[in-house]
Structure formats: structure tokens, C-alpha cells
Amino acid sequence: MSDIKDYFSLVKISHTIFSMPFAMIGFFLAVRENEGNIDYIILFLVILSVLFARNAAMGFNRYIDREFDGKNPRTAIREIPRAIISPRSALLFVILNSILFIVTTAFINNLCLILSPFALLVVLGYSFTKRFTYLSHVFLGLGLSLAPIGAYIAVAGHFELLPLLFSFCVLFWVAGFDIIYALQDMEFDRQEQLKSIPATLGARNSLILSGFFHLIALIMLVMAGITGPFNFLYWIGLGIFTLLVIYQHVIVKPTDFSRVNLAFATLNGFASILFAVFVIVDIYVNK
């Protein structure tokens, strides 16, 4: 019988480090506009919303891709192919987390509740994209990019340019490193006629495009730094983020994918956490 740790493994709960730090940036940007008054209940609900949405998205991805995962030697060890979690249980997990996500947004504000089905449509819809477009990486980035603007709306109740700049950063940053991650499955995707940028463009051109996406992400952060109420700590954080993003392009080469996991999980995880810490501290130092 499956237990909670199996479901945490199913959805790679540790990978929440990609979206949660940027959600916290969006939250604290809105808090600053609210004279620095933190509503800890809203903070808790924002964290729950990010977790529920991501659980639903990843669980659905594993459910939809279960047959491909079983054929791919790299992914055959996942919980559904190994029968640790049944497809039915995974689908029920997705439905439960989707319902919890919508219910949680209802306790935040009306705008979050109204937007919640559209957010679910984006994050769940990503799982189908490899069947019809090689831009699936961009759709993944779009899903995660909802975190900073969603957290901002949870506090402020309206849209603003600054959190949108962080959302655009997340979109291109995630799309860029997902291209790097997909290098591992380039031949498998071609064999199964699944669409991805590496399967379409090859390793070298894919890394060039990944670098271009990351350049756009960094430009978005520069624009946010110029637009927002930031000081030197923001720029130190951006410098660290930039170095870690660049380093993943140094260690992953068109003929050597052995350090893809280091680039994908470790470097990007540290990049997002460290950047968020510097940004949030900067917000409080300069409020």
C-alpha cells in the first residue's frame, strides 16, 4: 500500500524550490505595498496553493505519461511504472489536490478564486503538450510563472507590472533549464515521436536556445530591478543568480549530459532560493 512519502516522490516535492521562492517574492512585494503588514493566514494559504497546484500538475503528468515512463529506462523507476502507486490512485491524488487548490484560493480573495480554474488549466494542460508541440518547455515555464503573480494578487488583489516581470523571468528561466533536462531523453523522444526542442533541434542548437531563453530571463530581472523599489542587495542576488545560471551552461555540453541533473536541480534550486532571500531582505531594508 502506498504511503505519503511515495506520493511526495511521485510529484518530486523537493522541486517546489523552483516556484516557491518566486511566489514569496511576489507575496512580499505586495506586502511592501501594504505598509509591510504581513497577513500570516494569507501567507499560509499562498504556500498551500503553490503546493496543491504543483502536486496536481506533477501527479497528472505522471498519470498521463505512465506508458512512456514505463518504456524509458530513465523513468521506468518512477512510482506508477513500478506499481508503487496505481494509475487510479494517482488520478485521485490529482483530483484531490485540484479541489484543495480551488478551495484554498476561495479563502484568499475573489480574484484568486475566479482565476484558479484557468491556472489549473495551464498547469494540467502542460502534460499534453509533448504530443503536439516542441514548445512544451515554454508551457512548463508558463505554469510555474503563475507563482509570483498569483502570490502578489493574493495580497494586493490586482495585477501590476513588477510581479509580471518576475513571472516572465520564471517562464524563460524554467523553459531554458527544462530544455537542458530534456537532453537526456532526446533519442527516446524521437523514437516515440514525442516533441521536444532537443528532439527537434539536436543538442547543440538546443543549448544555444536554452542560453537565449536564460538571457531573456536575466533581462526581465534587470528590468524588474530598475522598475522596482530595490537597492544593492537585489543586485547582489541577481549577480549570484546570473552566475549559477551561466555555470549550468558551462558544465553541460552537446556531447556530455553527465552533469544535467546537477545543472537542472542543484544549481537552479540554489539560484532561486538565494535570489529570493536577497530580494526579500532588500524589500525590508528599503521599505
Dihedral angle sign, alpha carbons of residues 202, 204, 208, 214: positive
| pLDDT score recorded for residue 287 | 62
Nearest to 19 by CA among 106, 126, 134: 126
The architecture (CATH level 2) of 4-285 comes to: Orthogonal Bundle (1.10)
107 neighbors 24 (Cβ within 8 angstroms):
no
pTM over 0.85: yes
- Give pLDDT, residue 124: 96
Block mean pLDDT (10 aa), the chain, length 287: 81 87 96 85 97 96 96 93 94 97 97 96 95 95 96 94 97 97 95 95 97 98 95 96 96 91 87 96 82
In angstroms, the CA 194 to CA 72 distance is: 12
Task: Give backbone dihedrals phi and psi of 79, rounded to 5 degrees, phi first.
Answer: -65, -40
- Phi-psi domain of 133 (left: phi exceeds 0; alpha: psi -120 through 50; beta: other): beta
pLDDT at 15 (0 to 100): 81
In this prediction, residue 11 carries a pLDDT of 86
In this structure, are residues 178 and 126 in contact, taking their beta carbons and an 8 Å threshold? no
Q: How far is the first Cα of the chain from the last one, in angstroms, to the nearest whole number? A: 51
- pLDDT score, position 1: 55
CA dist., res. 56 & res. 122, Å (int): 11
Residue found under cell 502534460? 127
CA-CA distance, 171 to 156, in Å (whole number)? 22
